[in-house]
Amino acid sequence: MAVQEIKGEYLKRINSVLDYLALHYAEDVNLEHLAKVANFSPFHFHRIFTSITGEPLNKYVQRIRIEKAAALLKYQLLTPVSDIALDCGFSSSASFARVFKQHYGVSASEWRNGASESFSKNRKAQSKDSEALGKAWQTEDVAPMYIDPTTNSMSWEINMLHLKNIQVEVKHVSEVNLAYIRHIGEFKGEKKRWIEIFQRLVQWASSRDLVRCPGTQYYTVFRDDLNITDFSKFKTDLCLSVEKPITGQGEVCVGTIAGGKYAVAYFEIDAEEYEQAWNVLFDEWLPKSGYQPDQRCCFERYLNDPKMHPENKHMVEMCLPVKPL
């Protein structure tokens, strides 16, 4: 087996562990069981996991527990802090309080009472283009919700000062089977790398007769919260849809987009405007919607090839999983 194939196989196996932990992070972590998930011996698994993720297993599990708790504290305001601590796998409120403050520099209560917003703004400030782009993306108001008589779904219009108004619709999205290549780390300014990953994925799928034109859909699935997880550890899956469950190979893994209720917003934007579009959905629409995010992943669905658009615009749906407040 070639060196590149070996590396791809290691990535696929460790990704299976990351996907497992995304669902079972609150449970007791058993090294032997996770090694079995990865099909490695327990003796070698820990070192391989650290090499690929950049974190020892115990630190990775503790971090995603803290990040899940941070998101729940931010969006589920009526749930007691002690319940969130236990639901996220901490043995006691005291241990949770200690670890949370070490990680974010504030207490869980301070985070819930506004520190999370300051943290989020600091993250956005790291974008060099955010201030200039933000002026164009000023929001006037969110119009009252109305029921679409055709689909019977709830819809909102976000009135923009300098851009075309934006429609947001809450609707059911069906589960989608995926083939994907995962990227861990910074992704802003990585356009060339993004294109290379998509090309490898499409080439892999085309050689197995999995690509349909028309039919195949292209997605990016965000496995972490951009305003909570450090950029260097952020997990992003570049995906294409497949008609039925398949078996991955090498760096290509398989998974799903979970079905259920999503807020779906359509945008026609430039390549550098994705962050601003997500900010509109989270910062403008969500607080006035009567919904809160749930634990499923956000994703983008791409509707065109920007090179074929007369203004090189990206036509994209941004999908936020939601549940009632």
121, pLDDT greater than 60: no
- Are 104 and 212 found together in one domain? no
First to last CA, the chain: 52
Question: If you search the block for the tokens 């069906």, which residue do you land on?
Answer: 174
Q: What is the DSSP letter of 118?
A: H
Q: Does residue 162 sit within a domain?
A: no
133, pLDDT greater than 60: no
- Are 175 and 318 found together in one domain? yes
- Which pLDDT does position 1 carry in this prediction? 45
Answer with the one of 123, 142, 161 that is the final residue of a domain: 123
Whether 235 contacts 184, CB under 8 Å: yes
- Which pLDDT does position 120 carry in this prediction? 64
Q: How far apart are CA 161 and CA 154, in angstroms?
A: 23
Q: How far apart are CA 51 and CA 59, in angstroms?
A: 13
- 3 state SS of 54: coil
- Which pLDDT does position 161 carry in this prediction? 78
> What pLDDT digit, counting tens, does each position of 228-278 carry?
888 889 999 999 999 888 888 889 999 999 999 999 999 999 988 998 999
- Are 103 and 183 found together in one domain? no
Q: Does residue 211 sit within a domain?
A: yes
Q: What is the Cα 97 distance to its own chain's centre?
A: 26
Answer with the one of 89, 123, 157 that is the final residue of a domain: 123
Give the CATH number for residue 208.
3.20.80.10
Whether 69 contacts 84, CB under 8 Å: yes
Q: Residue 73 sits in which domain range?
A: 3-123
Q: What are phi and psi of 200, to 5 degrees?
A: -65, -40
Q: Does residue 86 sit within a domain?
A: yes
Q: Does residue 131 sit within a domain?
A: no
Q: Does residue 140 sit within a domain?
A: no
80, pLDDT greater than 80: yes
* Number of domains, the chain: 2
- Are 176 and 320 found together in one domain? yes
- Are 315 and 257 found together in one domain? yes
- Are 176 and 270 found together in one domain? yes
Give the CATH number for residue 73.
1.10.10.60
pLDDT band, residue 310 (cuts 50/70/90): very high
Nearest to 253 by CA among 52, 7, 12, 9: 12
Answer with the one of 88, 123, 158 that is the final residue of a domain: 123
Q: Does residue 145 sit within a domain?
A: no
Q: Does residue 141 sit within a domain?
A: no
Q: What are phi and psi of 179, to 5 degrees?
A: -110, 140
- Are 98 and 177 found together in one domain? no
- Are 268 and 182 found together in one domain? yes
Tokens describing residue 124: 């956005």
- Are 297 and 183 found together in one domain? yes
Rounded to two decimals, the pTM is 0.84
